[in-house]
Structure 1
């Protein structure tokens, strides 16, 4: 059963895909003349912070490791189910309803485990991002005040901006000092969140 291993692989792809576009966007060449700096207008790009800060990279690396661990945990289920399915297909008339029901029960157990592990990975990632956000918030407030910002725009809603108005780099630098990394394991989903 490839479905069991595919779920964890899909999660790794999901995590990577949320970061990869931000890196590509951050590296895109802007216009030769970016226009004037507008006093009081600042721009911040959270996705770039998550992709380029040391803590964001540490979280990405650890999430990939956790997803690989989940794949390793699910792989024996898939192998056993595939073996049992092959045995039943080759068993002909000797296969009983009890055999089929036992296989169906194993498939459901494996699917439930896969769903549980995927939920744990999603929850773990969201908790790490929450911790990063908590560390970034006071940094952004300080940069906002230092730069005399009157408004802080999300870079995802701004197509092109004068780089002098972007506060992401200084925010990344300060976050790298304040929160260089996070150490964590896969977290169980709290009961109220799971429902």
Structure 2
């Protein structure tokens, strides 16, 4: 039974995203060639993990995961208790199998609820990440123009690059000014399928 795995899922996503952005392998100590005019590098994962809005997103998702865990815990406890009673009582406790069928139905309902909550958390994360991305887009475009970039590469695609070509810090600074935090948010219901 994977009941209550949602909290672990959300925490793992947040920790992995933050850890990969913050603990990325350091560039080897090298003497860089000259910065290439018009070539810029940007690290969107680092901006999402280190921006004040990104940190607010992480905090909010952790809060929502705890709420979901609290909502699902009674279901898990009840289902586990009933399973133990059925197992201990054997055939005598459920001669016609009706208790086992009712238990199976409750288990399936709890699993469906858990799956729905997991999808709602993912959807909420995507929508809040989109809010941060929407705030960052004009900043990225402005920095691109100011630095006379001809191409902007994602840092994850660059093994080693001259730090003078990296515009991430400037974008991060401006994003923190433009979007110092995310407005409070709750778990979002999934959009109706058409």
Band the TM-score falls in, shorter-chain normalisation = over 0.9
Q: What is aligned with 1:60?
A: 58
CA shift digits 1:138-174 (9 cap, x unpaired): 0001000101111111111001111110000000000
Q: Are the aligned partners of 1:9 and 1:71 in contact in 2 as well (CA < 8 Å)?
A: no
- Output the CA distance in 2 between the equivalents of 1:40 and 1:31: 24
How far off is 1:177 after superposition? 0.5
Q: What is aligned with 1:15?
A: 14
How far off is 1:29 after superposition? 4.1
Superposition pairs of residues 146-165 of structure 1, within 5 angstroms: 146-165=146-165
Work out whether 1:172 is the aligned partner of 2:172: yes
- Output the CA distance in 1 between the equivalents of 2:73 and 2:93: 28
- Output the CA distance in 1 between the equivalents of 2:109 and 2:79: 11
Q: Are the aligned partners of 2:10 and 2:61 in contact in 1 as well (CA < 8 Å)?
A: no
CA shift digits 1:85-112 (9 cap, x unpaired): 0111111223131101110011011001
TM-score when scaled to structure 2?
0.94
Superposition pairs of residues 1-195 of structure 1, within 5 angstroms: 1=1, 3-25=2-24, 28-92=26-90, 93-95=92-94, 96-182=96-182, 183-192=184-193
Where does structure 2 lack aligned partners over 5 or more consecutive residues?
none
Relative to its length, the structure with more helix (as a share) is 1
Q: Secondary structure of the equivalent of 2:14?
A: helix
- Output the CA distance in 1 between the equivalents of 2:98 and 2:10: 34
- Output the CA distance in 1 between the equivalents of 2:34 and 2:166: 13
- Output the CA distance in 2 between the equivalents of 1:76 and 1:94: 23
- Output the CA distance in 1 between the equivalents of 2:15 and 2:190: 22
How far off is 1:20 after superposition? 1.2
Count how many residue pairs are aligned between Structure 1 and Structure 2. Answer: 191
TM-score when scaled to structure 1?
0.93
Tell me how large the CA RMSD over aligned residues is. Answer: 1.3
Instruction: Return 10-19 or 76-85, whichever deviates more.
Output: 10-19
How far off is 1:115 after superposition? 0.3
